[in-house]
Amino acid sequence: MNRVCLLFAVALQCVAAISDDDGFVEKVVSVVNEDLIQRKINEIYLPDTTYNYFVLSGQTKNAVLGDLPTLYVDGDNQVLNRMESKTNSTIFFDFHLGIKNFHLSYDFNYKFLHFFSGAGKSLVSTSDNKVHLAGRVTLYPSRVCVATLTTATVNDLGKYKVSISPEYTFHSFFSYTIEFFKNHLSSSDITSFNNMISEKIGTESFKSTFSDIACHSLGY
38 within 8 A of 57, measured Cβ to Cβ:
no
Q: Exposed, middle or buried, 118 (CB in 10 Å: 0-12/13-18/19+)? A: middle
Bridge-partner residues for 153, per DSSP?
132
161 within 8 A of 185, measured Cβ to Cβ:
no
Longest Cα–Cα distance in the chain? 77
Count up the domains in the chain and report the number. 1
Q: Does the N-terminal peptide bond of residue 21 adopt cis geometry, omega within 30 degrees of 0? A: no
Q: What is the pLDDT of residue 18?
A: 59
pLDDT tens digits for range 39-89: 888 887 777 888 787 777 888 888 887 788 999 999 888 988 999 888 899
Q: What is the pLDDT of residue 151?
A: 93
Q: 154 or 90: which carries more pLDDT confidence?
A: 90
Q: 147 or 170: which carries more pLDDT confidence?
A: 147
Percentage of the chain with pLDDT > 90?
Answer: 23
Q: What is the pLDDT of residue 17?
A: 58
pLDDT tens digits for range 173-185: 777 877 777 777 6
Q: What is the pLDDT of residue 16?
A: 55
- The model's pTM is 0.72
Q: What is the pLDDT of residue 168?
A: 73
Please give the residue range of the domain that contains residue 29.
3-217
Distances (CA, A) of 204 to 91, 148, 210: 21, 11, 10
Q: Exposed, middle or buried, 129 (CB in 10 Å: 0-12/13-18/19+)? A: buried
Q: What's the CATH number where 68 sits?
A: 3.15.10
pLDDT tens digits for range 183-198: 776 655 677 778 878 8
Q: Can you give the three-state secondary structure of the chain, one letter per residue?
A: CCHHHHHHHHHCCEEEECCCCCCHHHHHHHHHHHHHHHCCCCCEEECCEEEECCCEEEEEEEEEEECHHHEEECCCCCEEEEEECCCCEEEEEEEEEEEEEEEEEEEEEEEECCCEEEEEEEEEEEEEEEEEEEEEEEECCCCCEEEEEEEEEEEECCCEEEEEECCCHHHHHHHHHHHHHHHHCCCHHHHHHHHHHHHHHCCHHHHHHHHHHHHHHCCC
